[in-house]
Amino acid sequence: MKILLINGPNLNLLGIREKSIYGNESFENYFQTLRNEYPDIEMEYFQSNIEGELINKIHERGFTFDGIIINAGAYTHTSVAIRDAISGVKAPVVEVHISNILTRENFRHESLIGPVCVGSIMGFGLDSYRLGIEAIKKTH
């Protein structure tokens, strides 16, 4: 099984920015934890602050990987283009968020990508990604 984990803008600052919301651990460290927990799954991690790069990666892996887990960051609420990219690939996509976006500012309450994903997981900290992996495993 092959799973792509994608993080959008500002998530390269995990462990540094707004620790009360996003925690103290870098995603690179957490990704190694996931690899250790799921040695039978081939995982790839990609992060970009650039919308087009996220779209390109979805296109690149969305026809050959078994699933995509995406935390589109702020693009969750604004990007029709990422939504269309998700709709255009065959891999099931799970939307994840570290925080519960429904308890944050009103503009974060709507996800443009959620309706084209097989599911959404939010509010469980970095563990949201592990739950996303479990969801992808159940789609196969």
According to the annotation, is 99 in a ligand binding site?
yes
Task: Report the percentage of the chain scoring pLDDT > 90.
Answer: 78
* Tens digits of residue pLDDT in 34-93: 999 999 999 999 999 999 999 999 999 999 999 999 999 999 999 999 999 999 999 999
Whole-structure pTM value: 0.92
* Beta-bridge mates of residue 69: 5, 94
140 is catalytic: no
Question: H-type helices in 6-138, by residue range?
Answer: 19-22, 27-37, 51-61, 80-88, 127-138
pLDDT at 108 exceeding the cut of 90: no
Residue 7 host element (H or E)? strand 2-7
Q: 2-138 domain in CATH 3.40.50.9100? A: yes
pLDDT at 21 exceeding the cut of 80: no
Residues 6+ apart with CB under 8 A from 117: 70, 86, 92, 93, 94, 95
According to the annotation, is 84 in a ligand binding site?
yes
According to the annotation, is 71 in a ligand binding site?
yes
Give the pLDDT of residue 23.
63
